Amino acid sequence: MRRISIFGATGSIGQNTIDLIAREPDAYDIVALSGGRNVVQLAQDARKLGAQIAVCADETCLAELRELLAGTGIETAAGETALIEAAQRPADWVMSAIVGAAGLAPGLEALKTGATLALANKESMVCAGPLVMQTARAHGAAVLPVDSEHSAVFQALVGEDLAAVERVIITASGGAFRDWPLEQLASATPEQAATHPNWDMGQRITIDSASMFNKALEVIETKEFFDIDPSLIEVVVHPESMIHALVGFNDGALMAHVGPPDMRHAIGYALHHPARRALPVERLDLVKLGALTFRAACETRWPALRLAREVMAEGGLSGAVFNAAKERALDAFIAKRIGFTGMAHVVEQTLNRVSAQNGLIHAGMSLDNVRAVDHLARETADMIMLQN
Is there binding between residue 212 and ligand NDP (CB under 6 A)?
A: no
Q: Is 10 in the site for ligand NDP (CB under 6 A)?
A: yes
Q: In this structure, which amino acid lies at residue 306?
A: R
- Is 11 a binding residue for ligand NDP by CB under 6 A? The answer is yes
- The C-alpha atoms of residue 138 and residue 245 are separated, in whole angstroms, by 30
> Is residue 13 involved in binding ligand NDP (CB under 6 A)?
yes
Q: Please answer whether residues 119 and 98 qualify as being in contact, where contact means their C-beta atoms are separated by less than 8 angstroms.
A: no
Count interface residues toward ligand NDP (CB under 6 A).
Answer: 27
Q: Contact with ligand NDP (CB under 6 A): which of 37, 48, 306, 353?
A: 37
Q: How far is the CB of 9 from ligand NDP (least distance, A)?
A: 6
Q: How far is the CB of 122 from ligand NDP (least distance, A)?
A: 5
| Strand stretches in the chain, DSSP E | 2-7, 28-35, 53-56, 75-78, 93-96, 116-119, 143-145, 165-172, 233-237, 243-249, 254-258, 295-296
Chain residues 16-35 in contact with ligand NDP, contact rule CB under 6 A: 35
Instruction: Compute the least distance from the CB of residue 313 to ligand NDP, in Å.
Output: 23
- CA 97 – CA 124 distance, rounded (Å): 10
C-alpha 352/C-alpha 324 separation (Å) is 14
Judged by CB under 6 A, the stretch of 7-15, 166-174, 238-246, 275-283 that binds ligand NDP is 7-15
**What is the dihedral sign for C-alpha 325, 190, 303, 313?**
positive
Cβ-proximal residues to 72 (8 Å cutoff; 6+ apart), any chain? 46, 47
- 199 belongs to the binding site for ligand NDP (CB under 6 A): yes
Q: What is the rounded distance in angstroms from the CA atom of residue 261 to the CA atom of residue 215?
A: 16
What is the pattern of x (binds ligand NDP, CB under 6 A) and - over residues 100-129?
Answer: --x-----------------xxxx------
Position 371 contacts ligand NDP (CB under 6 A): no
88 lies in the binding site for ligand NDP (CB under 6 A): no
Residue 145 in contact with ligand NDP, rule: CB under 6 A: no
Please name the helix (run of DSSP H) or strand (run of DSSP E) that holds residue 375, with its range, or none: helix 367-387
Q: Shortest approach of ligand NDP to residue 204 CB, angstroms?
A: 6
79 binds ligand NDP (CB under 6 A): no
* CA pair distance 312, 251, nearest whole angstrom: 27
Which residues in this chain contact ligand NDP in the complex, by CB under 6 A?
Answer: 8-14, 35-38, 57, 97-99, 102, 120-123, 147, 199, 201-202, 204-205, 263
